[in-house]
Amino acid sequence: MSNHAVPFLNRRMVIALTVFLQMAFAFACWGAVGKTAAVDQKDPQRYLLRYRFGQGDQIRTKVVHQASVRTTIEGTSQTAKTVSVSVKSWKIVDVDPDGKVTFEHAVEFVDMKNDVTGRETVSYDSREDDEPPAGFEDVARRVGIPLTRVVMDETGTLHQRKELAPGAANPTQLVLPLPKDKIAVGSTWTFPDDVVVNLRNGNSRKIKCRQRFELLSVENGIAKISIATQILTPIRDYPEIEAQLVQRESDGIIEFDMQAGRVIAQQIDLDRRVTGYPNAKSSMHYRTRFTETLLSGHARTAQRKSKSK
């Protein structure tokens, strides 16, 4: 295998191991609400999408992330597969008279497995393993503690954000942004999401992106919403940028319970290929599925099994 292959694959492994913290939650914290598109219907029924939380609520969701990255460099291929299962929680610590909600985000546990062609499978379950294997240390440090404190309004617009965990990485995506006005089925809205990528020459570049949402249907009080990433800056001739952006793209369906005022499920699927990175004779095939499902009931503290003596 080329000397370029090993460090590149190692970087891909690190990304896969931490992706449940970076992606967990599939919506960017955009500041400004985009315009809602008009719908070509005569007096369609319109719906108001709003978050609704009460002080003391704890919102728990199960997150499953499956990723496969097949890298081919100078004719030699290697595949890194990662599967992670985790439970995230939002603890609602305050709701003010104006409806602004303060919550703390945490990950209760994570169960991960990493499998790379030609290497021994590595796994880590924070509920059972006293010490994480090499490469999982940062994940282990960020489990079971408050990670972020957020103040947002009922549309998901963030007013304050504070990282609570030491050594926090780039801000994770937390909230599905909602339109400010009532919308009809078929309406779309967008939110800007600029991404800064690193270039080979050591410089960085800002790439203009946005997320496009569409209200697909409303049945039994559940709004079904599509999400798709739109990259506005031309990047076709820059594979090193494509390789970084592919991890930030979204293409899937969200289910929002209008009466409860919260996301109850989402599924994001990606299947992307990038050629010419890390060199002209290489390619990368990135496939991933991300699902999140609302859980009922209260959290139970996960206890590690004691080692037999």
Residue 29, pLDDT score: 34
Say how far apart CA 163 and CA 106 lie, in whole Å: 11
Residue 308 is assigned to a structural domain of this protein: no
Can you give the CATH number for the domain in which 114 is found? Answer: 2.30.230
- Mean pLDDT, the chain, integer: 83
Residue 204, pLDDT score: 87
Residue 303 is assigned to a structural domain of this protein: no
Question: Which domain covers residue 249, as residue numbers?
Answer: 5-295
Residue 302 is assigned to a structural domain of this protein: no
Paired residues of 92 in beta bridges: 103
Q: What is the pTM of this model?
A: 0.81
Say how far apart CA 155 and CA 161 lie, in whole Å: 16
153-191: b or e for each residue (b if 16 or more CB lie within 10 Å)? Answer: bbbbbbeeeeeeeeeeeeebbbbbbbbbeebbbebbbbb
Residue 305 is assigned to a structural domain of this protein: no
Residue 52 is assigned to a structural domain of this protein: yes
Phi, psi of 15 (to 5 degrees): -60, -45
Say how far apart CA 76 and CA 55 lie, in whole Å: 55
Q: Which two tokens stand for residue 143?
A: 């489990």
Number of folded domains that form the chain: 1
Residue 301 is assigned to a structural domain of this protein: no
Q: What is the mean pLDDT of each run of 10 residues along the chain (309 residues)?
A: 40 42 38 44 85 95 96 91 96 94 96 94 95 91 94 94 75 81 96 84 88 96 96 85 84 96 96 87 93 78 43
Residue 27, pLDDT score: 38
Residue 306 is assigned to a structural domain of this protein: no
Diameter over CA atoms, the chain: 74
